[in-house]
Amino acid sequence: MKAFVDGAAVGLDAAAAAAARVLGAARLPVIAGLGTDVAGARAAIALAEKLRGAYDHLASDVLLRDIDVMRQAGRILTTANDVRLRADCVLFVGPKLFESLPDLPKHLDLAAPPRLSVTKTRKVFWLGASRGEAAQVGATEIAASPSSLPQVLANLRAAVLERKTRANGAQKLVELAAQLKAAHFGVVVCAADSLDRLTIEMLHGLVVDLNEKTRFTTLALGPGGNALGVVQTSGWMTGFPVRTGFGRGYPEHDIWRFDANRMVEADEADAALWISAYRAEAPQWNRRIPLVALAKPQTRFAYPPRVKIEVGTPGEDHDAIEFSQEIATFALARAKNASNAPRVADVIGRIEQNLAKGSEAC
């Protein structure tokens, strides 16, 4: 692993000192990406406060869709283990649900009956799967294209409420509605990644309606790379999710104002710290503001960072606490292939030390 200042290889200390100069000189720095473990998120949010900057996550668009539905309408949620052990009726909604969680189908074990249920059978449906996906979990497929999905769901909800619809394929939806209502403990499985906000809210409404007579709940799959863990960490540290800023000396949350891409393009942020320790992902913005990057070696940047520090992958190069969607909470991921590649939290620690030195000097 290596560190670079203006493209030239340097030691980690020199890189941290240069990073501190870039960030310390900024009027409004933004910490973006935030693809890191809990320790990295803690360090980054604390640094954002110290710098009176803002922070955002690379998956914010997806994360905030779920969060927005929750804080507008609420949610009824469950865990993968409850689907595995208790659900006698599972409805998958939307395409590509397992893309960031390839081990999930095996974990859900839907071919077996739910072991902790009074019901000994399990019915599985998939509304709007992409090709070949439904077969992975032995689901009965009900076709819907991504663009028709909102209308199909509206029709399904109407069928659950026994309102008449004359839509195409209405009979299929009436049958599906009957199956959902006959469930003992049913679960809708969906991911904000493949649904828009209104569709997620409609699904929540469907689940609420089904609970009038029986039990139904939701498994909401999130993006990988500890994105959910970063939101949780942000929650207890500041009270708010990502897209939070400290310009006034206390945290303010605003999904528009503290959108990192917007802040850069609108000339509000004048330096950035980009963090992506899980994947070789670069910032999306075009304006060339001074950039410090804690990134994977293979990352291809649109323009060269002033400071680039290659960091290890949490759970690969070093032990890391991350949010595990398998168990729906935090867990320690032991390093699969321990190396001395630096951890995001340690690099930020060094940057902070240099900031402190800088402030003593002046």
Partner 1 sequence: MLIRLAGGRIVDPANKQDGIGDLWIRGDRIVAPPQGETPDAVYDVSDKIVMAGAIDIHSHIASGGVNTARLLLPENHRAHVPRPAATPLSTAGWSTFETGCRYAMMGFTTVIEPAVPAHQALHSHLELADVPIIDKGILAVLGDDDFLLSLLRGGGNRTAIADYVGSMLAATKAMGLKAVNPGGAIAFQNNARTFDLDDVVPFYGVTSRQIFQAMQQAAIDLGIPHPLHLHINNLGVPGNVDTAIKTIAAAEGKRIHLAHIQFYSYGKEGKRGFSSAAPRLAEAINAAPKAITVDIGQVMFRQTVTVSLDIIRQWSARPMAKPRKSVMYDGAANGAGIVPYLYKSDNFYNAVQWACGLELFLLLDDPMRSLFTTDHPNGAPYTTYPDLFALIMSRDTRAKWLADLPKEAVEMTTLPSLTREYSFSEIAAMTRVAPAKLLGLKDRGHLSPGALADVAVYNDDLDRAQMFRFAHLVFKDGDLVVRDGRVTHYRYGRTLTVQPRYGSGIDRRLAGYYDDLYGVSRNLFNVPPAEALGRDYAFEEVACGR
Q: How far is the CB of 263 from partner 1 (least distance, A)?
A: 19
Amino acid, single-letter form, for residue 142? I
Q: Which of 60, 100, 194, 217 binds partner 1 (CB under 8 A)?
A: 217
Span near partner 1 by CB under 8 A; candidates 122-130, 151-159, 168-176, 243-251: 243-251
Q: Rounded to the nearest 5°, which phi and psi values hold at 347? A: -65, -45
Smaller CB distance to partner 1: residue 5 or 220? 220
Q: How far is the CB of 57 from partner 1 (least distance, A)?
A: 14
CB atoms within 10 A of CB 79: 17
Smaller CB distance to partner 1: residue 50 or 279? 50
Q: How far is the CB of 232 from partner 1 (least distance, A)?
A: 6
User: Could you say which DSSP state residue 88 is in?
Assistant: S
Q: Which of 1, 61, 117, 205 binds partner 1 (CB under 8 A)?
A: 117
Amino acid, single-letter form, for residue 169? G
Q: How far is the CB of 19 from partner 1 (least distance, A)?
A: 20
CB 184 within 8 A of CB 118: yes
Q: Which of 1, 28, 50, 205 binds partner 1 (CB under 8 A)?
A: 50
Total residues interacting with partner 1, rule: CB under 8 A: 61
DSSP 242-275: SSEE-TTSS-EE-TTTT-HHHHHHTT---EEEEE
Interface with partner 1, residue 350, by CB under 8 A = no
Interface with partner 1, residue 226, by CB under 8 A = no
Interface with partner 1, residue 28, by CB under 8 A = no
Interface with partner 1, residue 344, by CB under 8 A = no
Long-range contacts of 46-49 (CB under 8 A, 24+ apart): 46/237, 46/352, 47/23, 47/273, 47/348, 47/351, 47/352, 48/244, 48/245, 48/246, 49/246, 49/251
* Window 260 to 319, contacts with partner 1 (CB under 8 A): 319
Q: How far is the CB of 339 from partner 1 (least distance, A)?
A: 18
Q: Beta 54-55 vs 244-245: how paired, if at all?
A: antiparallel
Interface with partner 1, residue 231, by CB under 8 A = yes
Residue of 294, 266, 296, 302 whose CA lies nearest to 351: 294
Interface with partner 1, residue 239, by CB under 8 A = yes
CA distances from 219 to 15, 27, 125, 156, 331 (A): 43, 42, 14, 19, 19
Q: Which of 100, 155, 194, 238 binds partner 1 (CB under 8 A)?
A: 238
Interface with partner 1, residue 77, by CB under 8 A = yes
Q: Which of 331, 335, 346, 358 binds partner 1 (CB under 8 A)?
A: 331
User: Could you say which DSSP state residue 193 is in?
Assistant: G
* Window 137 to 176, contacts with partner 1 (CB under 8 A): none
Type and span of the H or E element at 237:
helix 227-238
* Window 250 to 269, contacts with partner 1 (CB under 8 A): 250-253
* Window 176 to 215, contacts with partner 1 (CB under 8 A): 184-185, 214-215
The Cα 57–Cα 298 span in angstroms is 20
Q: How far is the CB of 293 from partner 1 (least distance, A)?
A: 23
The Cα 351–Cα 44 span in angstroms is 11
Could you list the residues that contact partner 1 (CB under 8 A)?
Answer: 38-39, 42, 46, 49-50, 67, 70-79, 81-82, 84-86, 106-107, 109, 115-118, 184-185, 214-215, 217, 231-233, 235-241, 248-253, 319, 321, 324, 326-332, 345
